[in-house]
Structure 1
Amino acid sequence: MSALKHFLFPDHAPNSGTVKAKCKYCPTYISGNAKTTSNFVTHLKRKHRDIFIQSKSEDGTQISQTNISNFTKSTSVSKYSANDASQMQITDALVSFVAGNLTPLSVVESPEFKTFVESLNPKYQLPSRKHLSTKLLHQKASNIQSNIKEKLLSAESVCLTIDLWSNRQMKGFLGITGHFILDWCMKSIMVSCKRFKGKHCAENIRQEYEEAVACYNIADKITNIITDNASNMTKAFDFSLPGYTCNNEGKNSKSDSEDENDESELEPINIDFPEDDLPKHGRCYAHTLQLVVRDGLKYHFT
């Protein structure tokens, strides 16, 4: 039998060159290489003769010298290839975990996380942080966006809810959510959620909305747009000609931006817009109710 089974080798022993292995029966480290392993046999003979004789009698032959590289290869676990189905399935689950929980990308470099993954499946190869950030996450985002486009194109009509807010660092974000019925089931999906740079004016909000709608090619499917009661939101979605606001009933009046004291003899022109061409803009009922309650409490306690 081989003398190498009585020693503990490093996890990644070199195929050539000197390697040190610890004896299982004493704290001694023995040096050897791929070509010469007699040092291990000699140590057993001198320090652990009883084990040496017992091993020889059990096997019926002399303890042989085995190549170190062959010994370490037999104990190591072969990893999945990059195109292996199991490797790809686990990697997809890992990307969903990182993205879904907003987990730092450095988690794949954590020794504790590597140990955890190794204990679950020793054959799995963890992707590097760079590969995760530059390729895997982008592929996942592209697949999700393609799936959203497919669902939106299958819907007959879509209702959008739009909100603009700022975080504690006063960085603006614009979120657009789509709601539609598909296969007799109500569906809600995130159409867009991105940084909003610049002034929170109606023109910029309208521009971001149009870019999101054009990305998914659903401009002709939108029937309703729901926002809060902020003035910039209501102005952004008054689908009208410049200088006029639309009341969604085909009638138009001068916008608030016009000077009330304008003595011009020009009268506002009433234009009948086709009802199906423009989405209807509505204000969020919950937000309106919140404002009513807030104002009621304000006047009650003053």
Structure 2
Amino acid sequence: MAATEIVIDEDDDVEASEASSGDRDRKAKEFYSTFFTSLATARESKNSKSYVVHSGNCRLCPKEKKIEKKISSRDGYSNFKSHVLTFHNKNQEVVTFCASSEGAKRKADNGTLVDYFPSAKKKRLGRKHPKQIRLDEAVALIQVQTLIAPSVLGHSSFDKAIKVADSGLEWPKRHRIVKTLLPAQYVNIKAALVRLLDKADAGAINIDIWSSKRQRGYLGISVHFIDEKFRLRNFLLACPRFKGSHTAEAILKLTVEVIADYGLQRKIFYVGTDNGSNIICAFKDWFPQFYEFNSPADSSGTAM
């Protein structure tokens, strides 16, 4: 399968709904009252806990094989519904009942109802299926473009939503997003950015040092250039961890490593920084010509 081309700038949308657990229980109760006789409800105790137990005889089973079903109220009436759909799903009365039941609108290709027949669900496609691969790539791009937390993006509710559209697909979980999908997207997006920068004649970078809530240092570096269509383009090049003292030498060394990684050694003609003495000192020898445009009064300000 051909690799997906990464385009830097684009978007999509989806809507889904799911029956509530109360609605599912109501449907199961309809099976109980329609296909079972000798209905009874009793309260039983077990391990100091009290349960409501329903029972009934299936009228569709042969008379010599009468089956009594008992379930606790915590499970609703699902065992009755499962029995009918497992052993009597081809019974014309059952098919007619499902077709006319309230809320059953969508039908599978074989004429049975997706809402009632679990066997009508689509088999999982697998991770190497083209549709699953495209979904994985799209999920990773959502994280890249919105910076939503992977723990939120990998929540099981997204998997339930995607299965409304196609039950064969599986929404990737947090671990897969972080360990597999994002690293792959990083490689693809970086390659696309390198291709854009190769076409640029010159560019500028902005640099700033950030600290996290845990007081861990990071060096943010963004690039700005005019492309071949005379459009101003802005991208984040990197935000590497900045360990140790924030000396001028350390700032310059880490910046040069990032610039060299993108092949920009001979294309950077402008550096934007704040007025910190260490960050200004880091570039005054690398770009001494900038200071020719600054008056002595301006030289203590932003090194631009």
Task: State the distance in 2 between where 1:148 and 1:24 align.
Answer: 64
Deviation at 1:109, TM superposition (A): 5.7
Does residue 203 of structure 1 match 2:249? yes
Does residue 193 of structure 1 match 2:239? yes
The 3 A distance-change label for structure 1 pair 195 and 44 is farther
Task: State the distance in 1 between where 2:57 and 2:176 align.
Answer: 40
Residues 23 and 30 in structure 1, CA contact (< 8 A), matched pair in contact too:
no
Give the match's secondary structure for 1:124: coil
When structure 1 is superposed on structure 2, of 125-134 and 184-193 the one drifting more is 125-134
Task: State the distance in 1 between where 2:253 and 2:192 align.
Answer: 24
Name the residue aligned to 2:220: 175
TM-score, scaled to structure 1: 0.57
Task: State the distance in 2 between where 1:118 and 1:45 align.
Answer: 38
Give the match's secondary structure for 1:229: coil
The 3 A distance-change label for structure 1 pair 209 and 110 is closer
Give the match's secondary structure for 1:283: coil
When structure 1 is superposed on structure 2, of 102-111 and 170-179 the one drifting more is 102-111
Name the residue aligned to 1:93: 138
Does residue 158 of structure 1 match 2:203? yes
Residues 160 and 176 in structure 1, CA contact (< 8 A), matched pair in contact too:
yes
Superposed counterparts of 1:265-280, under 5 Å: none
Name the residue aligned to 2:178: 133
Residues 205 and 272 in structure 2, CA contact (< 8 A), matched pair in contact too:
yes
TM-score, scaled to structure 2: 0.57
Does residue 41 of structure 1 match 2:86? no
Task: State the distance in 2 between where 1:98 and 1:205 align.
Answer: 29
Task: State the distance in 2 between where 1:210 and 1:99 align.
Answer: 25
Task: State the distance in 1 between where 2:170 and 2:128 align.
Answer: 12
Residues 221 and 237 in structure 2, CA contact (< 8 A), matched pair in contact too:
yes
Computing the radius of gyration from Cα coordinates, the structure with the larger value is: 1
The 3 A distance-change label for structure 1 pair 28 and 139 is farther
Question: Counterpart of 2:129 in structure 1: which amino acid?
Answer: D
Task: State the distance in 1 between where 2:224 and 2:200 align.
Answer: 10
Name the residue aligned to 1:283: 302
The 3 A distance-change label for structure 1 pair 24 and 99 is farther
The 3 A distance-change label for structure 1 pair 40 and 113 is farther
The 3 A distance-change label for structure 1 pair 204 and 74 is same
**Structure 1 regions of 5+ residues with no counterpart?**
1-21, 32-38, 59-70, 251-281, 286-302
Does residue 105 of structure 1 match 2:154? no
Deviation at 1:110, TM superposition (A): 3.5
Task: State the distance in 2 between where 1:190 and 1:93 align.
Answer: 20
The superposition leaves residues 92-118 of structure 1 with CA deviations (integer Å, 9 ceiling, x where unpaired) of 121122343333434466443332222
Give the match's secondary structure for 1:237: helix
Give the match's secondary structure for 1:174: strand
Task: State the distance in 1 between where 2:208 and 2:248 align.
Answer: 13
Task: State the distance in 2 between where 1:110 and 1:117 align.
Answer: 12
Name the residue aligned to 2:28: none
Deviation at 1:46, TM superposition (A): 6.1
Does residue 122 of structure 1 match 2:141? no
Question: Counterpart of 2:217 in structure 1: which amino acid?
Answer: G
The superposition leaves residues 147-189 of structure 1 with CA deviations (integer Å, 9 ceiling, x where unpaired) of 1111111101111111113234322221111111112111111
Percent identity over the alignment? Answer: 24
Name the residue aligned to 1:278: none
Residues 156 and 173 in structure 2, CA contact (< 8 A), matched pair in contact too:
no
Name the residue aligned to 1:78: 123
Residues 77 and 122 in structure 1, CA contact (< 8 A), matched pair in contact too:
yes
Task: State the distance in 2 between where 1:24 and 1:87 align.
Answer: 41
Task: State the distance in 1 between where 2:181 and 2:263 align.
Answer: 26
Question: Counterpart of 1:212 in structure 2: which amino acid?
Answer: V
Residues 107 and 113 in structure 1, CA contact (< 8 A), matched pair in contact too:
no
Q: How many residues align?
A: 206
**Structure 2 regions of 5+ residues with no counterpart?**
1-30, 37-53, 68-83, 85-89, 97-115, 293-300
Question: Counterpart of 1:219 in structure 2: which amino acid?
Answer: Q
Deviation at 1:43, TM superposition (A): 7.0
